[in-house]
């Protein structure tokens, strides 16, 4: 049995995502990382059903589709690790330097997000 998403279905999904995004933004990095790992786990659990559906819809091989699910799950877990380690924030400390070439520089702690 196939199911085609209707515009109203898509609008409902977008509305729920729009509501959830600000709430998710208030959670800790660890919470967001756990959510990504849970999505990866669920994706792998649903792999047999997803592959079966995608075989009908895409014409790709089972091996390719299984590989795409694995790749996506691995990437979600890598994103989770990145969220926890904070590397994406590009945080650095530039210590105060009274002899800086352009004049005295204060202690700076920039974080880009």
Side-chain half-sphere CA neighbours of 30 within 13 A:
0
Residues 57 and 108: their CA atoms lie apart, in Å, by 53
pLDDT class for 110, splitting at 50, 70, 90? low
CB 66 within 8 A of CB 51: yes
Residues 5 and 13: their CA atoms lie apart, in Å, by 10
pLDDT class for 93, splitting at 50, 70, 90? confident
Among 21, 29, 18, smallest CA distance to 79 is for: 29
Task: For residues 15-27, give the mean pLDDT.
Answer: 95
Q: What is the pLDDT of residue 107?
A: 74
Measured CA to CA in angstroms, residue 81 lies from 31, 38, 68 at distances of 12, 13, 20
Task: Give 37's DSSP letter.
Answer: H
Q: What is the pLDDT of residues 76-91, one digit of tens each?
A: 999 999 999 887 777 7
Who contacts 51 (Cβ-Cβ below 8 Å, separation ≥6)?
62, 65, 66, 69
């Amino acid at each position: 049995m196939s199911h085609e998403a209707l515009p109203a279905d898509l609008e409902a999904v977008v509305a729920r995502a729009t509501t959830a995004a600000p709430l998710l933004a208030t959670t800790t990095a660890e919470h967001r990382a756990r959510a990504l790992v849970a999505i990866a786990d669920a994706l792998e659990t649903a792999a047999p059903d997803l592959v079966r559906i995608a075989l009908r819809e895409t014409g790709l091989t089972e091996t390719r589709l299984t590989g795409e699910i694995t790749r996506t799950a691995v990437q979600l877990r890598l994103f989770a690790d990145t969220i926890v380690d904070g590397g994406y924030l590009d945080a650095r400390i530039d210590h105060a330097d009274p002899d800086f070439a352009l004049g005295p520089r204060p202690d700076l702690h920039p974080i880009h997000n």
